[in-house]
Amino acid sequence: MKVLVTGGAGFIGTHLVRRLLGEGCSVTVLDNFNPQIHGENRSLPVDLAPNVELQVGDVRDESAVARALRGQEVIVHLAAETGTGQSMYEVLRYEDVNVKGTAVIIQALANDKVKPPRKLVIASSRAVYGEGRYNCHIDGIVYPEARTVEDMQEGRFEPLCPICGATCEVQPTTEDSQLKPTSFYGLTKKMDEEMARLFAETLGFSCVALRYQNVYGPGQSLKNPYTGILGIFSNLARLHEPINIFEDGLESRDFVFINDVVEATWTCILDSTMKVETLNVGAGERVFVKDVAREIVNYFSSRSKLTITGTFRQGDIRHSIADIQKIRKLIMFQPKWSFSTGLRLYLDWVTSQELSQNCYDFSIHEMRERGLLHG
């Protein structure tokens, strides 16, 4: 099987490419080696480089994309800018990479520049849901609006029922839930999904949009301060620097280990029955941010002081937990990694990495300067 992976030099991409090679696939990687993610590195890991056709290029470059698409049976489109906070002020860049990048791929297929693939697997995100699915004791299942600055300044962090205004309880978010992104990043991924679905139905190829939850694991960038609280907390703990936790520390996320993400993605590539589908890829396990910080500090025996600050970012969601019944039913996906087990393996890997300076404060300064960070 000939497979193109855009963004294949990134975190998810390199793990997926290893699996594809292990399954006997012929793999092409298109990646621009964005310095924010890769630093000065412009090459694949040594175990991948000899076995992969690497095309260094940008997903927005029509000629580079057309060249990479030729002869491919499957496209896995991972290339994207991924910082939810950064997307709220780097608006043009996120629109350019995420929306235009996907549009360039679709245009090449639509204009007969290359033969359409058998399947397009596109990386989406839980960010398309915004606050997601909740239960109100009065009005039942509801989909709250983005939380207001005024409420959060008063310490009211839980989303409110959009009908009666009461506090409501988070529920696992299903794929048929309302899409109400609260960040521009989430909005770009929603647009990506809709483009891919429209043209898959028009051109007759299979398309699966995978709404990845909070993916983590060995190989995740420790230098990118805009994504991944595990990397941020790990760096600060190793430096014994203070760790300031947003809101009241009770915000929660669905962390899904990279091996489970790769398994779900590979199974979707293999599947011959799905036409156009959207699937959550998560662990279905809710983890509180303050507990994550505490576990990381304990692992490193760090002298870092944990402080619940009440500070908050516009665009952040309060809770995240995926309903994974659909992916279980369609492709028999069952997460194998609990958060406690996966975190331990991730932190073992972090220990083996060179300790880098704290870049997180710069990203915080950027958001505060633009009026997106409060408190």
| Residues catalogued as catalytic | 185
Edge to edge, the sheet with strand 169-170 lists 140-142, 134-136, 169-170
SS (H, E, C) 124-179: EEHHHHCCCCEEECCCEEECCCCCCHHHHHCCCCCCECCCCCCECEECCECCCCCC
CB of 163 closer than 8 Å to CB of 139: yes
CA 214, CA 258: separation in Å to the nearest integer? 10
How far apart are alpha carbons 178 and 130 in whole angstroms?
9
Backbone φ, ψ for residue 191 (5° rounding) = -65, -40
Helix, strand, coil share (%) of the chain residues, nearest 5? 40, 20, 45
Q: How many CB atoms lie within 10 A of CB 336?
A: 12
In sequence order, the 6+-apart residues with CB closer than 8 A to the CB of 195 are: 99, 102, 103, 106
Q: How many residues does the chain have?
A: 375
Q: List, in order, residues 6 or more apart from 245 with CB less than 8 Å away.
A: 289, 290, 293, 306, 307, 308, 309
| 375 close to 310: Cβ distance less than 8 angstroms | yes
Do residues 19 and 262 lie in contact, with contact meaning Cβ atoms separated by under 8 Å? yes
Q: Which residues pair with 215 in a beta bridge?
A: 256
Token readout for 371 is 């009026």
Whether 136 and 158 have beta carbons less than 8 Å apart is answered as: no
CA dihedral 130, 135, 138, 144 (to 10 degrees): 0
Query: What six digits make up the tokens of 87?
Result: 């997307």
Q: Which residues, in sequence order, are CB contacts of 215 under 8 Å at separation 6+?
A: 11, 12, 255, 256, 257, 258, 261
